[in-house]
């Protein structure tokens, strides 16, 4: 398998990822966690796990996702609060609710909600 190497500031190190890593979801998609009651909008995607080893090890072993899959940064919400979440692809599914997410940071990254997904601000695209 051909691999590429990336530097991930959050992890503080270089990480190797498969070149053909395929994300199931895209920036602006609204997703729901498979196990926990929260949903969110994707604002960034890592091709493989790119957080700290301490963060990964804090996940109970029987629930720990594989590192070799896309991980998503979400502006997340539940009934009690809004926050940023980092979730493996295996733990996400498309949100069938179809409604917008109510997160205070949405307007910093997205400028509209059209056809069930958010559009990234033009100033943030490249």
**HSE-CB for 100 with a 13 A CA cutoff:** 12
Among residues 57, 70, 58, which one has the least CA distance to residue 24?
70
What does the pLDDT read at residue 119? 94
Specify the number of domains making up the chain.
1
The string of pLDDT tens digits covering residues 44-69 is 999 999 999 999 999 999 999 999 89
| 59 Cβ contact list (under 8 Å, min separation 6) | 65
Percent above pLDDT 70 for the chain: 82
User: The domain that contains 24 carries what CATH number?
Assistant: 2.30.30.390
Give the number of other CB atoms < 10 A from CB of residue 92.
Answer: 23
pTM of the predicted protein model? 0.84
Maximal CA-CA distance, the chain: 43
Q: Which residue range forms the structural domain that includes residue 32?
A: 3-124
Asked if residue 97 has pLDDT above 70, the reply is yes
Q: Positive or negative, the Cα torsion across 5, 6, 7, 10? A: negative
CA of 108: how far to CAs of 18, 54, 84, 117, in Å?
31, 29, 14, 16
The string of pLDDT tens digits covering residues 16-28 is 656 566 899 999 9
From CA 126, how far away is CA 114, in angstroms rounded?
A: 20
């Amino acid at each position: 398998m051909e691999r590429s190497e990336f530097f991930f500031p959050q992890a503080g190190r270089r990480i190797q990822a498969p070149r053909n890593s395929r994300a199931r979801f895209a920036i602006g998609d609204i997703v729901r966690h498979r196990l926990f009651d929260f949903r969110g909008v994707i604002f960034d995607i890592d091709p493989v796990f790119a957080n700290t080893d301490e963060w990964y090890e804090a996940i109970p072993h029987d629930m720990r996702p594989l590192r070799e899959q896309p991980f998503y940064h979400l502006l997340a919400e539940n009934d009690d609060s809004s926050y940023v979440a980092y979730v493996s692809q295996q733990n996400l599914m498309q949100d069938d609710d179809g409604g917008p997410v109510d997160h205070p940071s949405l307007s910093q990254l997205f400028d509209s909600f059209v056809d069930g997904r958010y559009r990234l601000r033009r100033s943030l695209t490249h």
